Every structure is written in structure tokens, then in C-alpha cells.
Amino acid sequence: MRILFYLIFLFLFRSAIAQPGSPDIGFTLVSDAKGTPMPGVHAGDVLTRHDMEWRGLVSWSVEEHFTSQSPYEPDRRGEHKWWMLTGTPIAGPGKGRLQFRFIDCSCTEHYIQVMRGTESMRIDLPDAPAERWALVQHVMQRSGDIAPRLK
């Protein structure tokens, strides 16, 4: 009986401290003003991109780059990190549109790089926390009040 009481207590305590995180910031890539999806195959990882290039197929990829300034990893500060982003299909009319989300980190030189063959596009993101917060507020204003209501 005592074990059951502790399990219930832990479950209730865990759900009581749940808090919403900061809003995701995402973007969608299209090839024109009509919203036409990007041409070619989306390569969500390095192996797929290499395989598509080797076969002579057109592919495109999205990478997130930043220089770490994390207080939790002091020995790795100043280290350049990057990874490829995988998109999430967007529901609704049309096919082939993907939404990408990037992290809000303790970092500098934060940018998104979109590559298609030999072409590339770089999207620079602000380093200063106040500038990033202004971007988050802009996204929240455009999307409306979507924060969960806690009682």
C-alpha cells in the first residue's frame, strides 16, 4: 500500500511541475511566391546527400551551424557545431512542403544554410538574446496566443 501511495505522489508531483517551453521557431522553404515546394529530393542526412550527388540526382539539404557558448560545457566553448535538419511534412493543400525548426541556444555565429547542388543560401540568426526574443515575439504575434492555460 505504501508503494502505491509513493507512485501516486510521484505522478502527481511530476505533472504539477510541468511548464511549457519557449515557442519553436520554424520556417518553410518554397521555390516561388506561389508556395511551390523545393524541386529535387530533400536529403535529411549526409549519406543521402552524398548518394544523390553520386547518382547525379538533384537534392537539397538544410544545415544548422553555430559556435557553442554553453555554460554547461565550458571545455567546449568556441567549438563550431553543425547538423542537418530534417523537415516535418506540413498538412494541408499541396504536397512536398516541409517545416524546419531550429534551436535557441547559448551560441554565437548561428545560421541556417540551405544547399542545392552548388548553390547555397545562408540565413543568419541573431546572437544577442534580446534580438532573439524580439524574433520570438514577432512569431508569437503572427501566430496568435497559442500558449496553454495552466490552472
pLDDT in tens, the chain (151 residues): 555 444 454 454 444 455 455 556 778 887 777 878 888 888 888 888 888 888 988 888 999 999 988 888 888 888 898 989 988 888 766 677 888 888 777 788 989 999 988 888 898 888 777 777 777 777 677 665 555 444 4
The answer as to whether 129 is a domain residue is yes
Q: How many domains does the chain have?
A: 1
Residues in the chain: 151
The answer as to whether 47 is a domain residue is yes
- For strand 41-42 and strand 59-68, is the pairing parallel, antiparallel, or unpaired? parallel
State the pLDDT at residue 151: 46
Tell me how far apart the alpha carbons of residues 32 and 111 are, in angstroms, rounded to a whole number: 22
The answer as to whether 34 is a domain residue is yes
Nearest to 89 by CA among 100, 105, 79, 78: 100
The answer as to whether 78 is a domain residue is yes
Tell me how far apart the alpha carbons of residues 2 and 37 are, in angstroms, rounded to a whole number: 58
The answer as to whether 9 is a domain residue is no
Domain that residue 121 falls in: 25-142
DSSP-assigned letter for residue 70 = -
pTM of structure: 0.69
The answer as to whether 151 is a domain residue is no
Q: What strands, in cross-sheet order, belong to the sheet with 98-102? A: 25-28, 98-102, 88-89
State the pLDDT at residue 7: 45
The answer as to whether 15 is a domain residue is no
State the pLDDT at residue 129: 72
The answer as to whether 56 is a domain residue is yes
